[in-house]
């Protein structure tokens, strides 16, 4: 087996097939190893003079065919049904770039290869675009006595983001944890950001949960357009600060929050079962006075589910509570350093977002 074939299969063991073909070998020779639906495409690949750099075909049996010419002399062809396509694409792109770079350095000691640079540039573009949806921290900070955000993606891009809007006398601030992380999560976050912006069109401070109902209604519509079972999802924690009535409303579908008062700290949790089809009953909604509230801390489950350095124990809400109780400085630096202390050299398992607001 070719080295690239075996690396791909090691990382994506559920692929139907992976082949690195010499360019003088016909694609149709793979006919018996692939589904019948791929046969005509293999014939087309043999006869076509189309000079493509990447080709991906979703077949009617829901499997996916990827073809990528590698250098002048090889074609990589992958048949996938179960693995995550976005992760697979990214992995292959990086792997091919690394492989070409290592071959070139080995043969001629050339500097960094062009396709690797291209891949890095694409990644930088993705990071830049995802940052565009994040509101400016300075703008949010004006709304509170103090404010901080810890936003640590597991990969360069991810599925966690935070969102802010002002509606009359109301400050709206949300934490969103989209399904998946890395590229999959990032793409979902772009859709969810648009949906959230559209969901406040009929904002009513008496019915803050209407924003989430609007959001999930639209999300359901998007998911219904898909012919396969794949859909996107997100957990949202939405805070509404009404500066007229001095009331804070928190609506959540999976995001938890600690409310720090002069006499203690309370944990606000979401309901255990969230069903998009019956979203009105799945939203946990709480309203309370701003009086005596000194701080609010909202966080995604990436933080509470983070394992310690020994990889044995999750931080949990108790661990976050301890950080808040021991708080030395109300800023991102303190919390980031506490999270790093907890995690040690262990890997980060998911995207992490923690937002603190001092009232």
Q: Which residues bind other proteins (CB under 8 A)?
A: 37-38, 40-41, 43-44, 47-48, 50-60, 125, 129, 187-188, 190-191, 194, 222, 225-227, 232
Shortest gap between Cβ of 226 and other proteins (angstroms)? 8
Exposure string (b/e) for 45-69, b if CB count within 10 Å is 16 or more? beeeeeeeeebeeebeeebbbbbbe
Judged by CB, which is closer to other proteins: 40, or 72?
A: 40
Q: Which residue from 342, 353, 352, 256 is spatially nearest to 307, judged by alpha carbons? A: 342
Q: How far apart, in whole angstroms, are the C-alpha atoms of residue 122 and residue 116?
A: 10
- If phi > 0 it is left, if psi is from -120 to 50 it is alpha, else beta; for residue 91 that is alpha
Judged by CB, which is closer to other proteins: 177, or 301?
A: 177
Shortest gap between Cβ of 294 and other proteins (angstroms)? 40
Yes or no: say if 342 and 307 are a contact pair by the CB < 8 Å rule.
Answer: no
Q: Which residue from 256, 238, 217, 109 is spatially nearest to 172, judged by alpha carbons? A: 238
Exposure string (b/e) for 285-298, b if CB count within 10 Å is 16 or more? eeeeeeeebebbbb
Taking each helix axis as running N to C, give the angle between helix 182-198 and helix 209-224, from 0 to 180 degrees, rounded to the nearest 10.
Answer: 120
Judged by CB, which is closer to other proteins: 176, or 208?
A: 176
Judged by CB, which is closer to other proteins: 38, or 320?
A: 38
Shortest gap between Cβ of 227 and other proteins (angstroms)? 7
Judged by CB, which is closer to other proteins: 125, or 325?
A: 125
Shortest gap between Cβ of 230 and other proteins (angstroms)? 11
Helices (H), 199-287: 209-224, 279-282
Judged by CB, which is closer to other proteins: 36, or 345?
A: 36
Q: How far apart, in whole angstroms, are the C-alpha atoms of residue 256 and residue 246?
A: 21
Judged by CB, which is closer to other proteins: 39, or 317?
A: 39
Shortest gap between Cβ of 53 and other proteins (angstroms)? 5
Shortest gap between Cβ of 90 and other proteins (angstroms)? 13
Shortest gap between Cβ of 89 and other proteins (angstroms)? 10
Q: Which residue from 169, 347, 163 is spatially nearest to 255, judged by alpha carbons? A: 163
Give just the sign of the alpha carbon dihedral 88, 93, 96, 101.
negative
């Amino acid at each position: 087996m070719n080295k690239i074939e075996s690396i791909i299969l090691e990382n994506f063991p559920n692929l139907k097939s992976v082949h690195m073909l010499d360019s003088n070998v016909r694609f149709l020779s793979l006919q018996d190893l692939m589904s019948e639906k791929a046969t005509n495409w293999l014939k087309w690949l043999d006869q076509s003079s189309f000079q493509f750099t990447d080709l991906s075909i979703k077949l009617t049996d829901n499997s996916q065919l990827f073809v990528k010419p590698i250098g002048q002399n090889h074609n990589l062809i992958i048949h996938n049904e179960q693995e995550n396509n976005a992760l697979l694409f990214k992995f292959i792109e990086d792997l091919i770039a690394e492989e070409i770079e290592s071959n070139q350095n080995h043969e001629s000691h050339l500097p960094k290869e062009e396709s690797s640079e291209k891949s890095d540039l694409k990644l930088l573009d993705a990071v830049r675009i995802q940052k565009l949806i994040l509101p400016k921290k300075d703008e949010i900070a004006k709304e509170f006595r103090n404010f901080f955000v810890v936003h640590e993606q597991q990969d360069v891009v991810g599925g966690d983001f935070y969102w802010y809007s002002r509606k009359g006398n109301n400050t709206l601030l949300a934490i969103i944890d989209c399904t998946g992380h890395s590229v999959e999560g990032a793409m979902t976050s772009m859709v969810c950001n648009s949906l959230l912006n559209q969901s406040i069109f009929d904002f009513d401070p008496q019915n803050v949960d209407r924003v989430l109902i609007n959001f999930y209604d639209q999300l359901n519509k998007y998911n219904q357009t898909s012919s396969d079972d794949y859909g996107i999802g997100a957990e949202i924690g939405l805070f509404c600060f009404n500066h007229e009535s001095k009331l804070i409303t928190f609506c959540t579908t999976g995001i938890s929050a600690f409310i720090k008062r002069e006499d203690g700290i309370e944990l606000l949790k979401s309901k255990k079962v969230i069903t998009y089809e019956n979203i009105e009953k799945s939203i946990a909604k709480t309203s309370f006075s701003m009086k005596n509230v000194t701080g609010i801390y909202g966080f995604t489950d990436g933080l509470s589910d983070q394992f310690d350095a020994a990889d044995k124990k999750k931080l949990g809400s108790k661990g976050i509570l301890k950080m808040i109780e021991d708080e030395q400085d109300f800023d991102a630096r303190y919390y980031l350093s506490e999270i790093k202390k907890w995690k040690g050299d262990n890997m980060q398992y998911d995207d992490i977002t923690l937002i603190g607001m001092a009232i």
